[in-house]
Structure 1
Amino acid sequence: MTYRPDLRPWAVFRRVSAVDNICVARFRTRPDADAYMSILRRLTPGANFQVVFDKLPQQVTQG
Protein backbone atom coordinates (compact mmCIF):
# COMPACT_ATOMS: atom_id res chain seq x y z
CA MET A 1 0.00 0.00 0.00
CA THR A 2 1.26 3.45 -0.83
CA TYR A 3 0.95 6.59 1.25
CA ARG A 4 -1.22 8.48 -1.24
CA PRO A 5 -4.59 6.73 -0.54
CA ASP A 6 -4.16 7.60 3.14
CA LEU A 7 -4.48 11.28 2.22
CA ARG A 8 -8.16 10.82 1.33
CA PRO A 9 -9.87 9.15 4.31
CA TRP A 10 -13.40 10.44 3.61
CA ALA A 11 -15.28 8.19 1.21
CA VAL A 12 -18.68 8.25 -0.47
CA PHE A 13 -20.18 4.78 -0.64
CA ARG A 14 -23.18 3.65 -2.66
CA ARG A 15 -25.24 0.98 -0.97
CA VAL A 16 -26.05 -1.67 -3.57
CA SER A 17 -27.60 -4.33 -1.34
CA ALA A 18 -27.74 -5.26 2.34
CA VAL A 19 -24.18 -6.61 2.17
CA ASP A 20 -22.58 -4.80 -0.78
CA ASN A 21 -21.26 -1.24 -0.83
CA ILE A 22 -19.31 0.44 -3.62
CA CYS A 23 -16.78 3.17 -2.93
CA VAL A 24 -17.66 5.87 -5.45
CA ALA A 25 -15.12 8.57 -4.55
CA ARG A 26 -12.60 9.61 -1.87
CA PHE A 27 -11.89 13.09 -0.47
CA ARG A 28 -9.53 14.84 1.91
CA THR A 29 -12.25 16.72 3.79
CA ARG A 30 -15.74 15.86 5.00
CA PRO A 31 -17.37 18.97 3.45
CA ASP A 32 -16.04 17.96 0.01
CA ALA A 33 -17.46 14.46 0.45
CA ASP A 34 -20.83 15.83 1.62
CA ALA A 35 -21.03 18.20 -1.35
CA TYR A 36 -20.26 15.40 -3.81
CA MET A 37 -22.84 13.15 -2.14
CA SER A 38 -25.52 15.83 -2.50
CA ILE A 39 -24.76 16.08 -6.22
CA LEU A 40 -24.97 12.30 -6.57
CA ARG A 41 -28.32 12.26 -4.75
CA ARG A 42 -29.71 14.85 -7.17
CA LEU A 43 -28.44 12.95 -10.22
CA THR A 44 -29.56 9.50 -9.04
CA PRO A 45 -32.53 9.98 -6.71
CA GLY A 46 -33.22 6.25 -6.26
CA ALA A 47 -29.72 5.41 -5.01
CA ASN A 48 -28.56 5.37 -1.40
CA PHE A 49 -25.25 7.13 -0.66
CA GLN A 50 -23.36 7.58 2.59
CA VAL A 51 -20.23 9.47 3.65
CA VAL A 52 -17.88 7.52 5.92
CA PHE A 53 -14.43 7.96 7.41
CA ASP A 54 -12.59 4.96 5.98
CA LYS A 55 -9.15 4.29 7.45
CA LEU A 56 -8.59 1.26 5.21
CA PRO A 57 -8.95 2.54 1.65
CA GLN A 58 -10.30 0.31 -1.08
CA GLN A 59 -10.20 0.56 -4.83
CA VAL A 60 -12.52 3.31 -6.10
CA THR A 61 -14.93 2.27 -8.85
CA GLN A 62 -15.12 4.91 -11.58
CA GLY A 63 -18.20 5.22 -13.71
Structure 2
Amino acid sequence: MSYKERLQAWTIVRLLPDMQRTIVGRFRHRSDADGHVHFLRQQIPNASFVVVFDSQSGIEG
Protein backbone atom coordinates (compact mmCIF):
# COMPACT_ATOMS: atom_id res chain seq x y z
CA MET A 1 0.00 0.00 0.00
CA SER A 2 1.37 3.38 -0.95
CA TYR A 3 1.89 6.26 1.44
CA LYS A 4 -0.92 8.21 -0.21
CA GLU A 5 -3.38 5.33 0.30
CA ARG A 6 -2.48 5.13 3.99
CA LEU A 7 -3.33 8.80 4.42
CA GLN A 8 -6.92 8.24 3.31
CA ALA A 9 -8.20 6.23 6.26
CA TRP A 10 -11.67 7.79 6.62
CA THR A 11 -14.07 5.77 4.52
CA ILE A 12 -17.71 6.30 3.54
CA VAL A 13 -19.62 3.05 3.32
CA ARG A 14 -23.09 2.61 1.83
CA LEU A 15 -25.09 -0.03 3.67
CA LEU A 16 -27.04 -2.33 1.37
CA PRO A 17 -29.64 -5.05 2.03
CA ASP A 18 -28.59 -8.52 3.23
CA MET A 19 -25.61 -7.22 5.23
CA GLN A 20 -23.80 -6.06 2.09
CA ARG A 21 -21.86 -2.83 1.80
CA THR A 22 -19.93 -0.83 -0.73
CA ILE A 23 -17.20 1.76 -0.29
CA VAL A 24 -18.26 5.11 -1.70
CA GLY A 25 -15.12 7.14 -1.01
CA ARG A 26 -11.98 7.55 1.07
CA PHE A 27 -10.84 10.77 2.70
CA ARG A 28 -7.85 12.08 4.58
CA HIS A 29 -9.86 14.07 7.13
CA ARG A 30 -12.98 13.09 9.07
CA SER A 31 -14.57 16.48 8.41
CA ASP A 32 -14.21 15.95 4.65
CA ALA A 33 -15.92 12.56 4.91
CA ASP A 34 -18.70 14.00 7.09
CA GLY A 35 -19.31 16.79 4.59
CA HIS A 36 -19.52 14.35 1.70
CA VAL A 37 -21.94 12.12 3.66
CA HIS A 38 -24.12 15.17 4.26
CA PHE A 39 -24.18 15.81 0.51
CA LEU A 40 -24.91 12.16 -0.29
CA ARG A 41 -27.80 12.05 2.17
CA GLN A 42 -29.34 15.07 0.45
CA GLN A 43 -28.91 13.51 -3.01
CA ILE A 44 -29.96 9.96 -2.06
CA PRO A 45 -32.26 10.29 0.97
CA ASN A 46 -33.33 6.61 1.01
CA ALA A 47 -29.77 5.26 1.26
CA SER A 48 -27.81 4.58 4.46
CA PHE A 49 -24.24 5.86 4.71
CA VAL A 50 -21.72 5.62 7.55
CA VAL A 51 -18.25 7.07 8.08
CA VAL A 52 -15.70 4.61 9.44
CA PHE A 53 -12.00 4.76 10.24
CA ASP A 54 -10.31 2.04 8.20
CA SER A 55 -6.95 1.54 9.91
CA GLN A 56 -6.11 -1.41 7.67
CA SER A 57 -7.14 0.20 4.40
CA GLY A 58 -5.85 -1.84 1.49
CA ILE A 59 -4.36 -4.65 3.59
CA GLU A 60 -5.38 -8.13 2.51
CA GLY A 61 -5.74 -10.62 5.31
After TM superposition, the score normalised by the length of structure 2 is: 0.85
- Partner of residue 61, structure 1: none
2: CA distance between counterparts of 1:31 and 1:20?
25
Q: How does 1:9-28 map to 2 (within 5 A)?
A: 9-28=9-28
Residue 3 of structure 1 corresponds to which residue in structure 2?
A: 3
Q: Which amino acid aligns with 1:21?
A: R
Q: Where does structure 2 lack aligned partners over 5 or more consecutive residues?
A: none
TM (norm. structure 1) is 0.82
Question: Aligned pair count?
Answer: 58
Q: Secondary structure at the match of 2:12?
A: strand
Instruction: Give me the whole-angstrom Cα distance separating, in 1, the residues matched to 2:18 and 2:3.
Output: 31
- Percent same amino acid among aligned pairs? 38
Q: CA RMSD in A?
A: 1.2
- 2:56 corresponds to: 56
Larger Rg: 2
Structure richer in strand, relative to its length: 2
Alpha-carbon distance in 1 for matches of 2:18, 2:50: 14
Structure 1 runs of 4+ aligned residues shifted over 4 Å read none
